[in-house]
Amino acid sequence: MWYQDLQSFVTALERAGELLRIKAPVSRELEITEITDLASKAPGGGKALLFEKVEGFQFPVLTNAFGSERRMCMALGVRDIEDLVSRLRNFMELGAGKGSKSIFRMLKLGMETLSFFPRRYRGKNPPCQEIVHIGKEVDLSKIPVLKCWPKDGGPFITLPVVITKSLKTQQRNAGMYRLQVYDRNTTGMHWHIHKDGSHYFQEYREAGKKMPVAVSIGTDPATIYAATAPLPRGVDEILFSGFIRRKPVLMTKCLTVDLEVPAYSEFVLEGYVPPNEFRKEGPFGDHTGYYSLEDMYPVFHVTAITHRRNPIYPATIVGRPPMEDCYMAKATERIFLPLLQIILPEIVDYWLPWEGVFHNITVVAIKKEYPRHAYKVMNALWGQGQMAFCKAIVVVNHNVDIKNPVNVLRHILNHTDFDRDLLFSEGILDVLDHSAPNPFYGSKLGIDATLPGVFEPAKDLPITKEVLVPRDEKIRLILRSISPSLNNHFVPDLGTRHRPILIEYSENDGFRPWQIAPILLEHPELKSFSIFVLCDRNVNLRDGSMVLWKIFNNVDPKRDIIIQRGRIVVNATKKDQRDGHTRPWPEDIVMDEEVRQRVRNRAKELGIEEFL
């Protein structure tokens, strides 16, 4: 099934029992976020939420529309994501085979491809221009843009399809870049340095020209997803949406800029970005679970706002996973596997854990063929598109079930020789990575957890069953004798060769984790542990997901992993100048307690008891 617009998707969600209408009045500041966060972290992703009465606004707000496996499949018009993966693989194998059957198949797929190209809306008045505000009539404050988290720099448009064109090639880009609303007619334009929108903007800057921009808010769901997809530069996201839908996206010309937008958009912002105007943008509670820091970004001047007669304003809330963006990213993981397999056919499957916020850790299963094959895969992935942002890559054999997270963790802890299986490298990092000493680049880690093959020596692994683990009280005394900064601890019962211990660190004596690490590794009564993980005081050591989230986000591999004779210390604590980290360290995203309690007290009125 395909959807012409967002409203038909909302209707389908409601018919499927996937939508909850919230009829009680709510505030766009924080309250919608708190309710959405409860829904997105409920089992299975809760439900999509339609807030019908947003205080001070006439338009309803939609959140969490993509926030489950089922809703993600509905958005893409498939029963299972693998159906779309199979279609994509068929197109990529267009020239495979010989004979008349192959020729017929190529002709059939070729004709189908032509039907995916975007087309011009032929009606007189496109739906997205039923209501028009130009010039002095432009007022962004009429749109219920959300302030998501307490320390956000202001309200942010979080689900926009930002449409631009290359000055040099006229190739279109439809990307998703957040917009901080400054006043009635200007916003920030959060173009990350590595993204296509920023690349095209640099062309205009070099030419000294202002850049025309159009922003569609509330397109059909396939187009919203396509704007998030990591397509190669020059591949039109609108065309990709047509492929997903099996129907072309109907486009219409803007009124004040020379660009086209999806005709069935709920809202459209038209305008331009000057070549040399920058303004402070942020902070913003981001998908990493931390606030991305303030920085200078281009400014978008809005020359027109158009919208449907009765539009819905869609927004996404991001924060500590799992949230809605996790399900969108999981779809991307599946859909783009065939593309990786063209470049690296030895890849059988891969997995991007939620705790790694999709750019900090990747687990790859390969058909191993020769010694150190895993290193070849790691280096190749670090050179491919947005996989280049990945901070850590773990490679396992093809017969490891990577869909079972606990099984993967046990495999790594049973089959990794820390002295010879860790590859440290350097390269670009996602803009939102805060752990590296410098922005945009830092160290990377590859872990070869494959089994030894022909011509490879056996791995030197600990036999922990032969070493008794001290009792908890004894461990507590040992840790306190090393440093008063070491408080609680937890020993996960994983039954693996490498036995980990998680330790709470809160500075009490001036000693930093990197100074404590050698003492932990050398202490004779702690030899039963080969992995020491140091976490900050506010981390629940028994919450495995939280611990992994802290490790994947807070660790710069070269600086924060200390190795000594097959045993390691991982410093997952907050860093500062004493640790060689001169950049500001972002804060965890935490909702105001007063807002949390207010929402819970209104749970029955809001109809959200099922999410508590």
Lowest mean pLDDT among 253-267, 456-470, 509-523: 456-470
Looking at residue 94, its pLDDT comes to 61
pLDDT tops 80 at residue 33:
yes
**Rounded-to-integer distance, Cα 549 and Cα 17, Å:** 32
**How many distinct helices (H) and strands (E) make up the chain?**
18, 29
Of the candidates 543, 577, 573, 546, which has an alpha carbon nearest to the alpha carbon of residue 560? Answer: 573
First to last CA, the chain: 33
Of the pLDDT bands very low, low, confident and very high (cuts 50, 70, 90), residue 495 is confident
| Count of other CB atoms within 10 angstroms of residue 94 | 13
Of the candidates 152, 157, 150, 213, which has an alpha carbon nearest to the alpha carbon of residue 181? Answer: 157
* Annotation marks residue 325 as catalytic: no
pLDDT tops 60 at residue 317:
yes
Of the pLDDT bands very low, low, confident and very high (cuts 50, 70, 90), residue 58 is very high
Q: Which residues pair with 446 in a beta bridge?
A: 393, 423
Please state the rounded mean pLDDT for residues 431-444.
Answer: 93
Task: Give Rg (Cα) of the chain.
Answer: 26
Expressed in percent and rounded to 5, the helix, strand and coil fractions of the chain are 35, 25, 45
Query: DSSP character for 403?
Result: T
* Length of the chain counted residue by residue: 612
Q: How is residue 146 written in tokens?
A: 């959300």
**Rounded-to-integer distance, Cα 516 and Cα 533, Å:** 12
- Single pTM value for the model: 0.93
Q: What is the average pLDDT score of the chain?
A: 93
Q: How is residue 445 written in tokens?
A: 């880690």
Q: What is the DSSP string of 66-113?
A: T-SHHHHHHHHT-SSHHHHHHHHHHHHTTT-S-HHHHHHHHHHHHHHH
Q: What is the DSSP string of 310-338?
A: S--EE----SSSSSHHHHHHHHHHHHTHH
Please state the rounded mean pLDDT for residues 53-66.
Answer: 98
Angle between helical axes of 69-76 and 221-228 (0-180°, round to 10): 110
Peptide bond into 155 cis (omega under 30): no
> What one-letter code names the amino acid at 600?
R
pLDDT tops 50 at residue 417:
yes
pLDDT tops 60 at residue 108:
no
pLDDT tops 80 at residue 92:
no
Domains of the chain, first to last: 6-79+115-314 (2.30.110.10), 324-448 (3.40.1670.10), 464-579 (3.40.1670.10)
Kindly state the percentage of the chain with pLDDT values over 90. 85
Please state the rounded mean pLDDT for residues 516-541.
Answer: 95
Pair 282, 294: CB distance under 8 Å? yes
Query: DSSP character for 577?
Result: G
Mapping DSSP to helix (H, G, I), strand (E, B) and coil, where does residue 216 land? strand
Quick one: 21 exposed, middle or buried, by C-beta within 10 A (0-12, 13-18, 19+)?
A: middle
pLDDT tops 80 at residue 256:
yes
Quick one: 570 exposed, middle or buried, by C-beta within 10 A (0-12, 13-18, 19+)?
A: buried
**Rounded-to-integer distance, Cα 155 and Cα 203, Å:** 29
**Rounded-to-integer distance, Cα 23 and Cα 21, Å:** 6
pLDDT tops 50 at residue 100:
no
The residue with greater pLDDT, 109 or 262, is 262
Give residue-wise pLDDT tens across range 558-611. Answer: 999 999 999 999 999 999 999 999 999 999 999 999 999 999 999 999 999 999
Q: How many CA atoms lie within 13 A of 562 on its CB side?
A: 16
Of the pLDDT bands very low, low, confident and very high (cuts 50, 70, 90), residue 466 is low
Q: How is residue 418 written in tokens?
A: 């820390």
Looking at residue 182, its pLDDT comes to 98
Please state the rounded mean pLDDT for residues 427-437.
Answer: 93
Q: Which residues pair with 441 in a beta bridge?
A: 428
Owner of token pair 């790859």: 364
Tell me which of 286, 417, 421, 448 is the catalytic residue: 286
Looking at residue 202, its pLDDT comes to 96
Q: How far is CA 201 from CA 163, 167, 197, 204, in A?
A: 12, 9, 6, 5
Of the pLDDT bands very low, low, confident and very high (cuts 50, 70, 90), residue 451 is very high
Please state the rounded mean pLDDT for residues 79-88.
Answer: 93
pLDDT tops 50 at residue 268:
yes
Question: Given the DSSP bridges, would you call strands 567-571 and 531-536 parallel, antiparallel or unpaired?
Answer: parallel
Looking at residue 469, its pLDDT comes to 86
